[in-house]
A = this chain, B = another copy of it.
């Protein structure tokens, strides 16, 4: 029974105002259920950082309330944080079979298998975590086995869509549970959290079958080897590649670790089907004639170390592209990756290869896994939520999603665009936005988690732009006179040989500064350091418009 003190809270710990590191919290009184645990890649301002995961201070503070982590699907922005988070804080994980398979692979890689409990669920499961009953519905996306989640709290029903689109002709018969969604909406939804990735795109995202048709047509035309690069996790697309390969009597080889891993998992769990002799080892490719081969490879986003980039530059150990081959980029470059992808296309053309590249909507070789505007309106219409929280998107996407919700009749006062770390609290079915919990980006650098921050990054930025100049000076303890130095060591600054005059002048300025301080009988090292930094810094900026890090090291002997 609901009392006035009963409180339901929806909190974002990651995933709003960004694409990546999704993590949401549903809390009802003393029970917390976490949705997803993603990672994201840093932008270029975070020098040297490998990965970003959510700051989970809030969860650690409330450790005894956390009942479990429920995963909507197996993409990195929903599961990539798991190995780092469970080292800090162990909790049971609930996910579908394929998603669990991918998570297990990831835990194995980090040497963490067996450190946490994994529970397999499916769209028909129902479970109760603490006092919160959960049920699920199946959605379409660019990876199989995706879930939407229904939290049937005493304050009302909260629905989290996960990532979704409506694919009415899905590959592998993985239909979305539209009737179930309609029933959920009919029974009343207090709050909907819905995927905003494509809220800027008009229309209805095409079915994955659209890609299958184009793959088949391209395979029918190709004469040499066929290379097709796509996201490894798009298992349904891989299934269509297999179908097209079967029709054209081609074998399939796999290049790239994630492609091998995903195909392995998907085959063993039955999400991918092929006759056993179709799959050949990459090292055996040269035993077949070109027109008997399809090579599925990673690197469709232009990743410099992935298979496609190596093929394009002719540095792949096992396979090479030859004039007359066809390379299909079955992916649209994500903003930021265009240049790397373009460079690969350049190299492939220079090798005399036919390349099918560019936007998927033009080539037909890619469709998005996310709902466009008409589908988002369909989800809002099915769910008829009282309150709406657009999630999974940058601000303009959340903003456009808000406009869509208003257009289908959600009260504009009941729509909350929240920040990471912000809660929407429901008491007596009234909602209020604005409470904040600790949140942020936890930076992963090598094996270090959270040990790099603002000052370290600021130093890396200075070092990256103009390098470092180190002054080593030995002074006598007894009389303060120079014993040796100042010696100047530079790294990442300029070629010393080509800048002799500049470096001589720097030396002269350093010596003058030290002499002046000695004449003033200064005995504080700090003043020497300050003086050197200022005098040399000013000179270099005036003379060369450069600001290297200046690091004086003074030794008294």
Leading 9 A-B pairs by shortest Cβ distance: A464-B464, A446-B545, A463-B463, A459-B492, A346-B395, A48-B465, A335-B338, A460-B492, A446-B546
Given the interface pairs A451-B499, A456-B494, A463-B464, the reply to whether A472 lies near B553 with Cβ below 8 Å is yes
Closest Cβ neighbor of A497 among chain B residues: B451
A residues 390-442 near B (Cβ < 8 Å) are: 394-396, 399
Confirm or deny: A453 has a beta carbon within 8 angstroms of a beta carbon on chain B: yes
Contacts of A339 in B (CB 8 A): 43, 335-336
Categorize the interface residue count of chain A: 35 or more
* Residues of B close to A355: CB separation below 8 A: 396
A489 within 8 A of B: yes
Q: Mark A529-557, 1 if CB is under 8 A from B, else 0.
A: 00000000000000111100101010101
Which of A474, A492, A557 neighbours the largest number of chain B CB atoms within 10 Å of its CB? A492
Enumerate A17-36 residues with CB–CB distance to B below 8 Å.
17
Instruction: Write out, one digit per residue, whether chain A residues 473-505 have a CB within 8 A of any chain B CB (1) or not (0).
Output: 010000000011000010111110011000000
Tell me the complex Cα distance, A450–B447, Å.
Answer: 38
Q: Among A346, A357, A396, A474, which residue has the most Cβ atoms of chain B within 10 A?
A: A396
How many monomers of this chain does the complex have?
Answer: 2
CB-nearest residue of chain B to A402: B349
Chain B residues near A349 (CB-CB < 8 A): 395-396, 399
For A557, list chain B residues within 8 Å (CB). Answer: 474, 483-484, 557
Cα A232 to Cα B549 with chains together (Å):
35
State how many angstroms separate the Cβ of A419 from the closest Cβ of chain B: 10
Complex: A455 Cα to B395 Cα, angstroms: 41
Nearest to A338 among chain B residues (CB) is: B335
A168 interface residue (CB < 8 Å to B): no
Contact with B along A80-91 (1 / 0, CB 8 A): 000000000000
A131 at the interface (CB under 8 A from B): no
Q: How far is the CA of A12 from the CA of B553 in the complex (A)?
A: 49
The distance from the CB of A57 to the nearest CB of chain B, in whole angstroms, is 15
Does chain B have a CB within 8 A of A303? no
Chain B residues whose CB sits within 8 angstroms of the CB of A452 once the complex forms: 494-495
Binding site for B on A (CB under 8 A): 17, 43-44, 47-48, 200, 335-336, 338-339, 342, 345-347, 349-350, 355, 357-358, 394-396, 399, 445-448, 450-453, 455-457, 459-468, 470, 472, 474, 483-484, 489, 491-495, 498-499, 543-546, 549, 551, 553, 555, 557
Asked if A456 and B493 make an inter-chain contact with CB atoms under 8 angstroms apart, the answer reads: yes
The complex places the Cα of A492 from the Cα of B470 at a distance, in Å, of 15
Return the contact of A448 from the options B350, B357, B491, B494 (Cβ within 8 A).
B494
Q: State whether A468 touches B451 (Cβ < 8 A).
A: no
Kindly state the separation between the CA atoms of A553 and B468 in the bound complex, as whole angstroms.
Answer: 14
Q: Which of A345, A462, A467 has the most CB of B within 10 A?
A: A467
- Residues of the B chain whose Cβ atoms lie less than 8 Å from the Cβ of A495: 451-453, 455-456
Smallest CB gap from A350: residue in B: B395
SS of A interface (majority): mixed
Residues from chain B with a CB closer than 8 A to the CB of A499 are: 448, 451
Cβ-closest chain B residue relative to A349: B399
25 examples of A-B residue contacts, CB within 8 angstroms = A43-B339, A47-B464, A47-B465, A48-B466, A335-B338, A335-B342, A342-B394, A349-B399, A350-B395, A350-B399, A355-B396, A445-B466, A447-B544, A448-B544, A457-B492, A460-B465, A460-B492, A463-B467, A463-B492, A468-B468, A468-B491, A470-B470, A472-B472, A484-B557, A489-B551
**Which of the residues B200, B336, B456, B491 comes within 8 Å of A338, measured between beta carbons?**
B336
How far, in angstroms, from A494 to B450 measured CA to CA in the complex?
10
A453 to B492, CA, bound (A): 10
- Alpha-carbon gap, A298 to B337, bound state (A): 25
CA distance A346 to B452 in the complex (A): 27
Bound: A173/B349 CA distance, A: 40
Nearest CB in chain B to that of A458: its residue: B492
Instruction: Report the Cα distance A166→B466, complex, angstroms.
Output: 44
Beyond contacts A350-B399, A446-B466: 12 other A-B pairs, Cβ-Cβ < 8 A, are A47-B464, A335-B338, A336-B336, A355-B396, A445-B494, A456-B495, A459-B467, A461-B464, A468-B468, A474-B474, A483-B557, A557-B557
A549-B491 in contact given A460-B465, A465-B48 (Cβ < 8 Å) = yes
Q: Tell me whether B484 and A200 are in contact (CB under 8 A).
A: no
Chain B, residue nearest A358 (CB): B200
A24 to B419, CA, bound (A): 52
The answer to whether B544 touches A446, judged by C-beta atoms less than 8 angstroms apart, is yes
Give min CB distance, A97 to chain B, whole Å.
Answer: 32
A464 to chain B: which residues have CB within 8 Å? 47-48, 460-461, 463-464
Contact of A491 among B358, B447, B459, B498 (CB under 8 A): B459
